[in-house]
Amino acid sequence: MSDNLIQEQIKQDYAYGFVTDIESVRAPKGLNKEVIQFISKQKKEPEWLLEWRLKAFERLQSMTEPNWQKPQYPKIDYQALYYYSAPKNFKEGPKSLDEIDPEIKKTYEKLGIPLNEQKRLAGVAVDAVFDSVSVATTFKKKLEDIGVIFCSISEAVQKHPELVKKYLGSVIPLTDHYFATLNSAVFTDGSFVYIPEGLRCPMELSTYFRINASNTGQFERTLIIADKGSYVSYLEGCTAPMRDENQLHAANVELIALDDAEIKYSTVQNWYPGDKEGKGGIYNFVTKRGICKGKNSKISWTQVETGSAITWKYPSCILQGDNSSGEFYSIAITNNYQKADTGTKMIHLGKNTKSRIISKGISAGHADNTYRGLVSIHQKASNAKNYTQCDSLLVGNLCGAHTVPYIDNKNSTSTTEHEATTSKISEEQLFYCKQRGLNQEEAISLIVNGFCKEVLQQLPMEFAVEAQKLVSISLEGSVG
């Protein structure tokens, strides 16, 4: 293959790099009390929430950024960022789909997310977040009829303050760590889900996050509550324009599962990864945590992380209820100069709690991929069980893979298992595939998809095929 062709292939990699030309309203640049007041005012928030934000901001002053992670990055100038950006003609509050700016509608169509309910993905309701605001939520009415609340978190603050007040910050406290506290101070939009007692939510719920404005951080906040005996499957997707600057996405996601409830949370993360020299791309510094509060409850995280310049996140489960279980299925693909430091924390508090961790890390080009995880079994967690499997796959000679598992076991009746492998796609495997007529890219994609299969199978059907394609595209051009 000639160099030109390879170049073309790499350029084609990121299909979502366009910018929507739209006028926006921004908060003044920088991070201070006034900006937080501005955000809160824009969102017409009640006094308690503004106070909550300011408390977080105050706390932030005495905190420093963590620095123990593998991927290092240049210092972020928090005063040079915008913390709120919304399309100019955007109105806060509930709106019908006809009111959406046609430019934004077009954007989502281009991204393959039709906001038109007639053209919808079968059985999927979508909340669309554009920069700092939720611009539309589909099937809201239909879901409302059966008691499901699915709306933006800003709307939930207005319409369901009792639920928001009760659960916001209950899993990720205000004081948790630098980025989580920053998010608590300046969070803008994200989704809110409440599934009533005993209901199995009949639709997939999903949020599509889009960063559009430049020099803007996105501070998503999502809160999902599954009441007793309920079930919900939720999926988020993310993309951003191609820019030379690094943009920050620092989200907080909290999940709460009560007695016998189950939450399945899937992420297909495809933020702009930067160019092949490592210029630009999103810093994806995200805090995701769920609590299995009730007995027999279950939380399952599935993530396919293919984008971002740096991915730094540990979707975690606090297994408080007896017999509760947590799962973490992850595929993290890094190509070119991308870096990932990701994994999970499973905190076993209740009796007979179970957790299962399956992590697949793939590195190509000059990329660096770290699995970091904690399995913590507390004194009272009798008969707790954990199984962890971390597999790393290397494509080429210039990339790296690291596995950093922590196990902290304080109960002698519990068991933990850890398995880890590191392998390289061998020349022999590639030759075998090529001898059967597959070209290099097809061969790598086949082998990598095989490597990831266990995790891909966890995704909701509608998205599994998409994710599989994404896995292949992310590695295009990884081998000359």
Chain centroid to Cα 249, Å, comes to 10
Tell me if 435 contacts another protein by CB under 8 A: yes
Structure tokens at 169: 């910050």
Q: Determine the interface stretch with another protein among 72-80, 139-147, 200-208, 434-442 (rule: CB under 8 A).
A: 434-442
Nearer to another protein, 56 or 393 (CB): 393
Q: Determine the interface stretch with another protein among 10-18, 121-129, 272-280, 431-439 (rule: CB under 8 A).
A: 431-439
Structure tokens at 36: 């937080």
Nearer to another protein, 102 or 437 (CB): 437
Q: If you compute the radius of gyration of the chain from its CA atoms, what whole number of angstroms results? A: 22
- Cα angle: 164, vertex 328, 63; to 5 degrees: 55
Choosing from 28, 406, 415, 432, the residue that interacts with another protein (CB under 8 A) is 432
Q: Determine the interface stretch with another protein among 95-103, 230-238, 348-356, 425-433 (rule: CB under 8 A).
A: 425-433
- Rounded Cα gap, residues 472 and 8, in angstroms: 16
Nearer to another protein, 63 or 438 (CB): 438
Tell me if 163 contacts another protein by CB under 8 A: no
Nearer to another protein, 442 or 476 (CB): 442
Q: Determine the interface stretch with another protein among 52-60, 166-174, 401-409, 429-437 (rule: CB under 8 A).
A: 429-437
Chain centroid to Cα 369, Å, comes to 17
- Minimum separation from the CB atom of position 440 to another protein (A): 8
Nearer to another protein, 128 or 364 (CB): 364
> Within 13 Å, how many C-alpha atoms sit on residue 429's CB side?
15
- Rounded Cα gap, residues 133 and 211, in angstroms: 10
- Minimum separation from the CB atom of position 239 to another protein (A): 28
- Rounded Cα gap, residues 90 and 189, in angstroms: 13
Q: Binding string, 437-456, against another protein, x = CB under 8 A?
A: xxxx-xx--xx-xxxxxx--
> Within 13 Å, how many C-alpha atoms sit on residue 156's CB side?
30
- Minimum separation from the CB atom of position 428 to another protein (A): 5
Nearer to another protein, 92 or 454 (CB): 454
Tell how strand 204-210 and strand 345-348 pair up.
unpaired
Tell me if 429 contacts another protein by CB under 8 A: yes
- Minimum separation from the CB atom of position 98 to another protein (A): 41
Nearer to another protein, 79 or 435 (CB): 435
Structure tokens at 460: 């909701």
- Minimum separation from the CB atom of position 430 to another protein (A): 9
* Burial class, 406, CB count within 10 angstroms (exposed 0-12 / middle 13-18 / buried 19+): exposed
- Rounded Cα gap, residues 130 and 113, in angstroms: 13
Tell me if 426 contacts another protein by CB under 8 A: yes
Tell me if 389 contacts another protein by CB under 8 A: no
- Minimum separation from the CB atom of position 443 to another protein (A): 8
- Rounded Cα gap, residues 6 and 28, in angstroms: 43
Tell me if 436 contacts another protein by CB under 8 A: yes
Tell me if 427 contacts another protein by CB under 8 A: yes
Q: Which helix (H) or strand (E) is 167 found in, with range?
A: helix 161-167
3 state SS of 413: coil
- Cα angle: 338, vertex 456, 301; to 5 degrees: 80
Tell me if 434 contacts another protein by CB under 8 A: yes
Nearer to another protein, 266 or 468 (CB): 468
Treating both helix axes as pointing N-terminal to C-terminal, what angle do 178-186 and 47-61 enclose, rounded to 10 degrees?
A: 150
Positions touching another protein (CB under 8 A) are 426-429, 431-440, 442-443, 446-447, 449-454
